[in-house]
Homo-oligomer: A and B are copies of this chain.
Amino acid sequence: MAFDPQPWAVVEKRLDLDMLAQTESIFALSNGHLGLRGNFDEGEPRGLSGTYLNGFYESYPLAYGESGFGFAEDGQAVVNVTDGKIIRLLVEDEPFDVHRGHLEFHERTLDFRTGILTREVRWRSEAGHGVRVKSERLVSFVDRSVAAIRYEVEALEQPVRVAVQSNLQANPSDQAGVSDPRAGRALGDVLDPILDVEHDLRVVLAHKTKRSQLHFAAGMEHTIECTGDATTLTQCEPDLGRVTISVGLTPGQPLRVTKLLAYHWSAHQSIDWLRDQVDASLEVAGSQGFDELAEHQKDYLDDYWERANIEVDGDPELQQALRFAQFHLLQASARAETRAIPAKGLTGPGYDGHAFWDTEAFVLPILNFTKPDAAKAALMWRHRILPSARERAQQLGLKGAAMPWRTIHGEECSGYWPAGTAAFHVNADIAWAVERYVANTGDEEFERGPGLDLLVESARLWLHLGHWGADGAFHIHGVTGPDEYSALVDDNVYTNLMAAKNLAAAASAATRHRSDAARLDVVPKEVREWHEAAEAIYLPFDERVDVHPQDQDFLTHDLWDFDGTPLEKYPLLLHYPYFELYRQQVVKQADLVLALFLCGERFTLEQKRAAFQYYEALTVRDSSLSACTQSIVAAEVGHTELAYDYLAEAAFMDIHDLEHNVSDGLHIASLAGSVMAAVCGMGGMREYDHKLVFRPRLARALERLAFRMTVRGSLLNIEVRHEEATYELMEGEAITIFHHGEKLALTPGRPVTRPIPEAESLPRPSQPKGREPVRRGSYASGRSGAAAPTVRLSR
């Protein structure tokens, strides 16, 4: 895939049918509640047809070759609900199909400022009839249940008779499952029809899932503009609603169909209720019309970009990729509202539509600064599933709450516990997100309420999971850290330090809000125990090589034979058994290096340098969550050019499909990670002890990096150039920041510029053979809007 490096859009100039599924993900529209993959209006050809409602899932029994106590019993998978995107076109007696006839022009544009996906087509049938088709599609950020499509078809040289079929289609006969464990599960037809009604140009269908017993209703309404006499036919069946419009067109006088869609679902409400909601939403949307919906969409996005915009001068592809990331980040989270932010957002069925720890570790930190209400809503979802997490802890014989490793509805759905249930760090990641959200917003009401609940129950878990060793330190054994090429290890540094943060945060919050803590039966002794465990957390260090081991035993393991590993054997997890991966020194994704970033206060610069160097040589980046973290730490320890290479890799991950699996959805956490890599990597932003510090440093090839962030209501604009950085308070109260160690007071209307100290010159670390990041810095410099993307992972 090669997109023009436009700063505010992804434009596909040439249709590549081999890349259909990938572009469906890239052109997906969503508001966090309703998601439409970028399927063609006419429905086919398709990679994966997809329409998703956040939180709407089907469950299925999880089978095991050999089961064990506490293994998750039920899986949950996102459901491809009724497809309202379909608008088929018949030109004279031939269906418009990009496979047939002559496609003279085909362009798709996703505009980050309008939030509209536009498609323009010029097509000539086998019989020679030419038409121009233009469709505009939006999923409204303002009207949460509503999507709209404006579909225009015009005869080219000669009059033609066309028929437009606008469908609602449930239970499509789609593709079977695939063997990649990261892809979604194909459950077949899971929707039982309950209701189908039509009225004029409106159809409403309602279905329920067979096993999870969730209900939803989907409706479509139409307006038609044309000069000729159009005939219409409205039909409905249990799994199909269809409005057919037939009209003779003359050149210059197009047919314009506006299709409004509304979706509502519930586990509790009756079908009648849901149907009424759908009809009401269609009325509200209809009263606005497409133009007004589009206008509101634009306003919403203007406001977002005002607070989130990142600018990169000197690398148009990176500029585009970062805005692409920010746009999809918003799409995944804006209106999720106490539902999860899934790993793939609502862009595809990958990972079964589950949410994981990376939402808290990668996505929320960015939302905190750019869309704090969405960060809060995501944490409210965690709070909503706290009862399930308490139950899970009890089932496992643990204390407090054990958050699921992967889930939609709250129950643990991990079918492989060593890389699921055992990865308890998810609890500390959530606690950390709570702490960061409260610190960044000052939302005390949240802290005293749901925040405290989350902190206390996770602290209780850690106190149970850990134990006091004979060495007087607090140890946590037998858990799995972020790196999935190790499992069930003792004293994983990341887990230990994040658990200590969790324990300390709970102790602090419970001390500051005693009466609220009493609600949870927190007693002083318990707080003392949290505090003591946090203080005494064990941090292994290997004196022999002067490096922190990823876990207690990691550095004693054999080194993976990287030189003997052919490139086609990556990602390793698809070609080697866990057994081999676990017992050797090979790292899927930043783990100790993620600790260097998130728990940076625990390490000296020298320790960070040594550790980064060591783990660089072992990290194969088989996870999309690695490059962003490596970029950040590379920047911090002084490898600015390497940081740039990793930033580009992180940013291009999805828009250029570096991992070859964007077909089943975008990697939302990786997209957030690329923004984080820009802000915390080259931007050098950190928050330590309520202090906001910057140590920016620009890669040679770039001219300027600027980004915005809101901290406790104050909107900052940070501009980084090679020699200096400028900090400006755009809005809100005065704020203190640090620039390369210097304290700066920012007041309204008074930007502060400070020089950036010269960087040390360090030798570049080496990576496993064949897994080196592409060097971007060396040749991106000086180019303007070049054509092809210049980054590829070498496989």
Contact = CB atoms under 8 A, between A and B. Distances in A.
Interface of A: 62-72, 75, 181, 396-398, 414-422, 467, 469-470, 475, 477-479, 487-488, 490, 544, 552-553, 556-558, 573-580, 582-584
B65 A558 contact: no
Nearest to A69: B577
Given A63-B63, A65-B72, A397-B576, 15 more contacts: A63-B64, A65-B71, A66-B420, A68-B578, A69-B573, A69-B576, A70-B576, A396-B579, A422-B579, A467-B557, A469-B556, A478-B557, A488-B488, A490-B556, A553-B553
Contacts of A181: 66-68
Given A70-B579, A477-B557, A65 B414 contact: yes
A65 B477 contact: no
A65 B68 contact: no
Nearest to A73: B65
A188 to B, nearest CB: 16
Given A68-B181, A69-B573, A579 B490 contact: no
A650 to B, nearest CB: 26
26 contacts: A63-B64, A64-B65, A65-B71, A65-B414, A68-B573, A68-B577, A69-B575, A70-B576, A70-B579, A396-B577, A396-B580, A397-B580, A398-B580, A418-B418, A422-B579, A470-B544, A475-B556, A477-B557, A478-B579, A478-B584, A479-B583, A487-B488, A488-B579, A488-B582, A490-B583, A552-B556
B421 A579 contact: yes
Which of A181, A488, A553, A582: most chain B Cβ within 10 A?
A: A488
Nearest to A74: B65
Contacts of A415: 64-66
User: What is the total number of copies of this protein in its complex?
Assistant: 2
Nearest to A469: B556
A475 B584 CA distance: 12
A577 B422 CA distance: 10
Given A478-B583, A558-B467, A583-B477, A574 B69 contact: yes
A98 to B, nearest CB: 36
Contacts of A544: 470
A66 B573 CA distance: 13
Given A421-B577, A488-B582, A579-B417, A63 B66 contact: no
A398 B576 CA distance: 10
A182 to B, nearest CB: 10
B65 A75 contact: yes
Contact of A416 (B64, B422, B573): B64
Most B CB within 10 A of own CB, among A65, A478, A488: A65
A398 to B, nearest CB: 8
Contacts of A477: 553, 556-558, 583-584
A552 B477 CA distance: 13
Contacts of A487: 488
Contacts of A475: 556, 558
A598 B556 CA distance: 27
Contacts of A576: 69-70, 396-397
A586 to B, nearest CB: 12
Contacts of A575: 69, 397
Top 10 closest pairs, chain A to chain B, by CB: A65-B415, A478-B583, A70-B577, A63-B63, A467-B558, A62-B65, A66-B415, A66-B416, A477-B583, A396-B577
Contacts of A557: 467, 477-478, 490
A66 B479 CA distance: 19
A68 B576 CA distance: 9
Nearest to A352: B66
Contacts of A417: 577-579
A254 B415 CA distance: 62
A186 to B, nearest CB: 14
A238 to B, nearest CB: 31
A282 to B, nearest CB: 40
Interface centre among A66, A67, A475, A578 (most CB of B within 10 A): A66
Contacts of A414: 65-66
Nearest to A62: B65
A575 B415 CA distance: 19
B583 A553 contact: no
A171 to B, nearest CB: 24
B397 A68 contact: no
Nearest to A557: B477
Nearest to A476: B583
Contacts of A421: 577, 579
Nearest to A477: B583
B416 A68 contact: yes
Nearest to A398: B580
A86 to B, nearest CB: 33
A583 B488 contact: yes
Contacts of A573: 68-69
A420 to B, nearest CB: 8
A70 B62 CA distance: 19
Contacts of A69: 573-578
A66 B420 CA distance: 10
A577 B68 CA distance: 7
Contacts of A488: 418, 487-488, 579, 582-583
A519 to B, nearest CB: 27
Nearest to A182: B66
Nearest to A578: B68
Contacts of A479: 583
Nearest to A545: B470
Interface core residue of A62, A75, A397 (most chain B CB under 10 Å) = A397
Query: Which of A396, A488, A557, A579 lies at the interface centre, i.e. has the most chain B CB atoms within 10 A of its CB?
Result: A579
Contact of A577 (B397, B469, B574): B397
Contacts of A419: 66
A573 B580 CA distance: 26
A284 B419 CA distance: 59
A580 B476 CA distance: 12
Nearest to A75: B65
Contacts of A478: 557, 579, 582-584
A478 to B, nearest CB: 3
A72 B578 CA distance: 13
Contacts of A62: 65
Contacts of A75: 65
A63 B478 CA distance: 26
